[in-house]
Structure 1
């Protein structure tokens, strides 16, 4: 299975009519993911509850919606982000608890309807993530997350990402087309198209394939990460300004990329092998994300669901003047 990512749909939540907009956007994503009316209704309910919570308890924030791959079916992520006062996670999941004078049923209802739910909150705000799969979907969640946003005023995104699954192996790609707008988009999509048929080729060979496919475009930065759960190892190769790291609660280790522009001028890629990575959080991001951040400034965040991590990093470190992509995956046993 190969899944090509898309731009995250972001709905600002600052006044009551935007709750309805969040619901409609989430329901449309469910239809695109192949959900029936009942399951689309679950997605709509979750989006309504999360957007309402943002409005009531944090005054303003946003809801992020994305179609995501699952192990045998596509799902929908609905993530609420705010800069409010935060909350006690355990208390807020209990029906009847409220910080805003309401009946306190919101997050409890979300927990019952979602297949996967996780949160992070501190004095800087909160992130509440719900992932929904079609009814009867009994297979395990793919523990990954991705948040992508187009540069303001541009009609298309110059970044792209994809993920491939083959048994115990995962292959991840992030591409940042040079510049932004349509030429950058065309470069990134050329790389994605080449990846979809060759995702598990050895990284040096795969990088060469992408270099050929992106020739004639503006070119761009590329990073490839291949994880083998049976071996517990990661192989990483990058050219250009895609950054990466392996994180735990104790700290992180960078994933190195080399200078160059794939599709234009670059030297032969050099892969790096990382053994014993089971349980670690792998992150890859384009330069639309600020570089000066550290997960240790957010105690416990490295243990949360990857979709919570990418949404929080987008909230706090998005430059706001370029396309931005953040991809994260939990490297553990494969279901």
Structure 2
């Protein structure tokens, strides 16, 4: 496989009233047009997205949705929805056409699953549901996504100071997460510069990448950053500052080591560490906008889902509105 990079971002919209349905539908159709979808395909995206958001408005608690586009071939429109309840006890039943139950997201789920090119769902009764689906022009399936990430700004801010980027070459996946110091545009300038520098040379060793970004971010306020590379049954990790890195599985997790400092300004001697990565494990990286107290054992079934749903589930469970947040989930490639 050739070299593929990703730094997808999208704005979150709260699904609190019916106005959210139109806002999300318009954004999805706009992105479908940019992705090269014809009118029929864009219309199908609009139907699925409208149904999903309508269900959130009617039945969910604290529902939020995000739509974004990945321009890498095949161009993809991705939709993610999270809510804080009431959840579904029987997802398979909810996916049957015609199923309806007040207090669930089951209405229309069968139609949504049929229209989308791909989808994944995780739900915990009483705690909420995560739905991720994507659409490609001509319904050409996208390659398996070994990594996926999400960002969300503090409170009602429109700009997030945290950023991530993912680079895949063959079976190796390299991830960079940067938490710009502070919030808003100034923090975003720092983290976006980190993304640009990372994407210029993502094939270097994680330690060399962190060092390069540390040197290059001196013109910004700075921030915390970490880089992980998955491949060959292990993950190699280097970090500067308080970005958290974990090797997680259904029963627990192992922390990965960063050194203290502020990228661009000061830091201890950089180090790189390698950790065993079993096939069933997931690498999680997140900024301090997400609590470190999350526990895979308290989220049954989540770590068996796709990286997109894992990242969204962790954002729902451990993300805070009092800070920008970024979370990335990744698995070894084949």
- Deviation digits for residues 49-87 of structure 1 (CA, Å, limit 9, x no counterpart): 1112222332651222222466x3231221222223211
CA distance in 1: counterparts of 2:147 and 2:305, whole angstroms: 11
2:317 counterpart residue number: 316
Map of 2:26 onto structure 1: 24
SS of 1:91's partner is helix
Contact 1:188 1:220 in 2 (8 A): yes
Q: Secondary structure at the match of 1:54?
A: helix
Corresponding residue of 2:261: 260
| Structure 1 position 238, deviation (Å) | 0.9
**Could you tell me how far apart the structure 2 residues matched to 1:34 and 1:296 are?**
42
Provide TM-score, normalisation by structure 1: 0.91
| Residue in structure 1 matching 2:210, options 196, 202, 207 | 207
Partners in 2 of 1:316 and 1:185 — Cα distance?
24
CA distance in 1, matches of 2:155, 2:118: 31
Match of 1:48 in 2: 50
Give the match's secondary structure for 2:259.
coil
| Matching residue of 1:106 | 108
Superposed displacement of residue 112, structure 1: 0.9
| 1:164 pairs with 2:167 | yes
Q: Mark the CA change 1:37 to 1:232 in structure 2 (over 3 Å): closer, same or farther.
A: farther
Unmatched tracts of structure 1, length 5 or more? none
Q: Equivalent residue for 1:329?
A: 330
Would the aligned equivalents of 1:3 and 1:69 in 2 still touch at CA under 8 Å? no
Q: How does 1:113-262 map to 2 (within 5 A)?
A: 113-122=115-124, 123-152=126-155, 154-228=157-231, 231-262=232-263
Which deviates the most, 324-333 or 1-10?
1-10
Cα distance, 1:154 vs. partner? 4.0
Q: Secondary structure at the match of 1:288?
A: coil
RMSD: 2.1
Cα distance change on mapping 1:20 and 1:96 into 2, 3 Å: same
How far is 1:101 from its partner? 9.9
**Contact 2:98/2:108 (CA < 8 Å) preserved in 1?**
no
- Output the CA distance in 2 between the equivalents of 1:290 and 1:276: 23
Q: Where does structure 1 differ by over 4 angstroms across 4 or more consecutive aligned residues?
A: none
User: Could you say what secondary structure the match of 2:183 adopts?
Assistant: coil
Deviates more, 1:8-17 or 1:239-248: 8-17
Question: Structure 2: how far apart are the matches of 1:63 and 1:154?
Answer: 16
Distance, in Å, in 1 between the alignment partners of 2:245 and 2:56 is 31
Structure 2 length as normaliser, TM-score?
0.91
Aligned-partner Cα distance in 1 for 2:206–2:16? 45
Q: Which runs of 5+ in 2 are unaligned?
A: none
The answer as to 2:271 corresponding to 1:270 is: yes
Aligned to 1:3: 5
Deviation at 1:43, TM superposition (A): 2.0
Q: Tell me the secondary structure at the aligned position of residue 211 of structure 2.
A: helix
Q: Distance in 2 between matches of 1:46 and 1:180?
A: 34
